[in-house]
Amino acid sequence: MRYYSTSNNAQKVSFRDAVIRGLAHDGGLYMPEVIPTLEDNFIRKLGSLSIHEIAYEVLKEYFKENIEGSELKALIRDALNFDIPLVPITENSYALELFHGPTLSFKDVGARFMARTLSRFAGSEDKGIYVLTATSGDTGSAVAHGFLGVDGIHVVILYPKNGVSEIQEKQMTTLGKNITAVEVNGTFDDCQALVKKAFSDPGLTKELALTSANSINIARLLPQMIYYFHAFAQSKAKGEITFCVPSGNFGNLTAGLLAKKMGLPVNFIAGTNINDVFPKYLVEGEFAPHASKRTISNAMDVGNPSNFQRIQDLYGHSLEKIRKDIPAYSVTDAETKEIMKTVWKENKYMLDPHGAVAYAALQKSGKIRNGNRGIILETAHPAKFREVVENTLEIPVRLPESLTACMKKEKSAIGMNADFNSLKDFLLGQKQLS
C-alpha cells in the first residue's frame, strides 16, 4: 500500500515514509492509495473474533509494505493491552469506553500504535527521530506515555499555557527521560501553527528527522478504525447503528469513516462544542476556520480541524455527500452540563464533558428511535475532567491510582513565546545535546 498527500495525489510514498514524515512536505495529509474492502463474511463473523484478530484483519493491508505477519500481530498485542468495553446507558444507547488505557484517554490507542510502529523505523534514521506534537491536553500525555523510554526517539510536546487541566499538565510534564514539555504562551492553535511551520521549514527538516504524533499521523489514525469494528461486534443489534463521535481535529471520526468505507455497515454523527466550524460548513457550505474558543470539553477546542482535508478527500470534495453521510451538531457548555446531570440522575452513568457532547448531539439528531441504536464514544475518563464533573454532578469523583501518583510529582516544562524562531533555536539546540 502506498500513500498520497491530500494536496498532491500524484506523488506516493511508502507506509514508512508517511509515518516518519507525519505531514507531507506539501502540507497535505497522507491517505492510503486504496481503501481495501473487507469480505461480508468477515463482517458477519466479527462477533466471534477477539479485538486482536479484528485489528490484524483491518490493518494488515495498510501496514504490509513495511510490517507484516507475526511482527504486526506482536505489535497489535503490545499496543492494545487494555479493555474497550461497550457499556449500556439506556435501552438503545451505549458508551464505547475508550479510556481504560494508561492515560485514561482514547488517544492511548493511536499513540501506542504509533510509538510501536515508529520505533521499528527509528533504527534506520541515524539522526534519531524527533516527535513534535501540539496538544490541547490529551494528545500530549498519551503520546508522552506511548513513547516513554523508546530508543532513538525524542518527544517534544507543545501545550498552551493555562489551556490544559492540572491533571493533563502533570501527565505531560513529570515523565522525564526522552520527553520534553514546552509551555507555550498562547493558544492551542498557536501551538499547532508552530508545529506546522516546523514541518515546512527546510532549515529544520534538513537537520532533524521530524515527525508529528498529532492525529494527522497515519499510524495513529488507522488503528482507530479497530474499535468501531470491535464495538459493532459487541453490539449484537438488529436495527441500524449510529456512532456519535465527539470531535475536535476530526481524526477519530475520519477513522470511523474509513472503517465504513472498508465495509462496516454503520452511520456516523459528529458532535462538537461551540467550536463549530464543521457543523457550520454543512449548513453554509463554507469552511471558515476561526480562533478556538475555550469550553469545558477542552480537548475539542479546535478552530481549524486538521482532518477536514481527509474528509473532503474521502468524499471527492462533494459537500452534498458529506452532508448526507455526516450530520453534525454543535453543543454549548450549558447543554453539556445538562446532559451530564440527566444521564447521571436517570441512568447512573457518569459522562465526561466530551462524551456528554456526543450524547447531546446524538439526542439532537433524533436518530435513536424504532429499535435503532446509538453508540457514543466515551473518549476520556470522567476523573480527567474532575473539576467540571464534580461541579456539575455535585458528587466527588475518585481519581484512579495512576493519576494520583503523577499528581504528586514535580512539573518540569520549558516556557516559550508563540514565536517560531524560539522553537527552531530550541530544537536545533536539542540536537546538539543528543
The distance of closest approach from Cβ of residue 84 to ligand PLP in the complex, given in angstroms and rounded to an integer, is 15
Q: Per residue in 308-341, is it b (16+ CB within 10 Å) or e — as a string?
A: bbbbbbbbeeeeeebeeebbbbbbebebbbebbe
**How far is the first Cα of the chain from the last one, in angstroms, to the nearest whole number?**
34
SS3 296: coil
Stretch that binds ligand PLP, among 22-30, 43-51, 241-249, 336-344 (CB under 6 A): 241-249
* Euclidean distance between CA atoms 152 and 157, whole angstroms: 17
Contact status: 228 vs ligand PLP (CB under 6 A): no
Site string for ligand PLP, 345-384 (x = CB under 6 A): ---------x------------------------xx----
Four-residue CA torsion sign, 115, 251, 104, 264: negative
Contact status: 89 vs ligand PLP (CB under 6 A): no
Stretch that binds ligand PLP, among 124-132, 244-252, 260-268, 395-403 (CB under 6 A): 244-252
Q: Which is nearer to ligand PLP, 18 or 98 (CB)?
A: 98
The correct pick among 15, 19, 131, 138 for binding ligand PLP (CB under 6 A) is 138
Q: Which is nearer to ligand PLP, 15 or 385 (CB)?
A: 385
Helix axes 251-262, 226-235, angle to 10 degrees: 60
Q: Which is nearer to ligand PLP, 251 or 374 (CB)?
A: 251
SS3 184: strand
250-309 residues in contact with ligand PLP (CB under 6 A) are 250-252, 299-300
**Hey, which residues are catalytic here?**
107
Contact status: 249 vs ligand PLP (CB under 6 A): yes
SS3 331: coil
* Euclidean distance between CA atoms 48 and 54, whole angstroms: 10
Q: Which is nearer to ligand PLP, 72 or 358 (CB)?
A: 358
Contact status: 160 vs ligand PLP (CB under 6 A): no
The correct pick among 1, 67, 103, 107 for binding ligand PLP (CB under 6 A) is 107
SS3 94: strand
* Euclidean distance between CA atoms 256 and 271, whole angstroms: 14
Place of cell 477477539: 50
Nearest 10 degrees: CA dihedral of 45, 46, 51, 57?
80
**Phi, psi at 396, each rounded to 5°:** -75, 145
Contact status: 248 vs ligand PLP (CB under 6 A): yes
Site string for ligand PLP, 181-220 (x = CB under 6 A): ----------------------------------x-----
- Which residues here bind ligand PLP, judged by CB under 6 A? 105, 107, 138, 215, 246-252, 299-300, 354, 379-380
